[in-house]
Amino acid sequence: MGQTSGRQERSKKPEVAPREVMEAEIEIQNNKDETKEVKAKNQKLTSVFGLADLKNEAIGLYNLGQSCCLNSLLQVFLMNIRFTRILRRITVPSSPAQRRSSVPYQMLLLLEKMQCGKCKAVGPTELACCLSEHRVELFVQHDAAQLFLTLWNLLKKQMKKPELVEELCDLYTICIQEHVACQKCSFEVKSKSTMLTLPLPVLDANSHRLKTLEDSLQYFFRPEELTGQNMCFCQQCGRKTTFLQSMKLVHLPQTLTLHLKRFCFERSSRTHKLSHSLPFPQELDLRQVLTESQCQAEDSEKATWQYELFAVVAHSGSASCGHYCAYIRSLTDCKWYCFNDSEVCQVSWDDVKCTYGHSNLYWRETAYLLFYMKKHPQQPWPGVSECL
């Protein structure tokens, strides 16, 4: 920073005129001021890119007006240490306008604000205004599954470093292989696709209630026969025939997101909520849930399909009027917390189980999004080895 320019060798001790002494003192003071300014900038960057994850206090988010859905999802993102480690390495936009419209950057600033402040809650105003520039409406009721997809797509699109985009995909995306086979001949079409969430039904095709999360997973991956109006054209048969459609798991991410399809459409085009009980486990081993025919993965891949529940986004109320909150297990102290906008409190597993649902209590909280995190006993993440 120019501190070495014009310096004299100390051992020579030359005689210096008074004016030169004054100029030297001014230069030294300027260098000191410059050093202080650099240190201050470095400290500010450190607070954004490093120290934020070291504080264990849970901070709430003020409701800006029907922003409970956004608040709940932001808490799930920012309480995930694996996600914040990606977020801290983003490229900071160069201009003020770019920074205002950058969702990753505004989310990073919110993380700093939450972790470095002394308030029990902060307002996500700047991030909300940023999202409005990307056609995410404010002051309206959002669907948590749709808003989660929107936020993730914006994060992926605006992260400039390819390696961060790849890490973000590895953290959240599910790889599926779809099989469509003609039942008249051996013709079969295979195609791979990625999904952010698994949209799990809570009712079967006959509107019977599925009893557990494991039942929903098995039903989602069950083969389905395409008959009648759903028949497909077979290139070998030269006509429409009955096909068997099935999906198989190829790869699961570090954070597995399950979407319980609690909202369904009636014939009257009205949406209603399915509030019946659907228990979900704290620990989920997909190898024990799915059959061999429902998987298309190597044994080394399937060996990592052991998960532990990390967060639950729950909805209370009806399909047209409701409220969201998030139950999250801290990766630093392994305790469950309820994030209800600005209010944050420690809860028990029994409190989380209250989100299973109840047939006769339509306004009660029911789990809508489930976030499971991979267990890595051989290579634990720093700071969370005791939890996972």
**Residue 354 annotated to the active site:** no
Q: Interhelix angle for 125-133 vs 68-78, to 10°?
A: 100
Output 200-208 pairs: Cβ under 8 A, ≥24 positions apart: 200/258, 200/259, 200/260, 200/261, 201/261, 202/260, 202/261, 202/262, 202/274, 202/276, 202/278, 203/264, 203/274
134 has catalytic annotation = no
CB 97 within 8 A of CB 130: no
Strands 60-61 and 121-122: parallel
Q: Which of 387, 381, 385 is nearest to 82 (CA)?
A: 381
* 8 Å CB contact between 237 and 184: yes
198 close to 259: Cβ distance less than 8 angstroms: yes
Structure tokens at 68: 């409970």
Q: Which residues, including other chains, have CB under 8 Å from residue 339's CB and lie 6 or more apart?
A: 58, 60, 61, 71, 72, 75, 325, 326, 327, 328
In angstroms, rounded to a whole number, what is the distance separating the alpha carbons of residues 148 and 137? 14
Q: Which of 175, 295, 323, 387 is catalytic?
A: 323
Q: Which of 68, 175, 182, 234 is catalytic?
A: 68
Active centre residues (catalytic): 68, 323
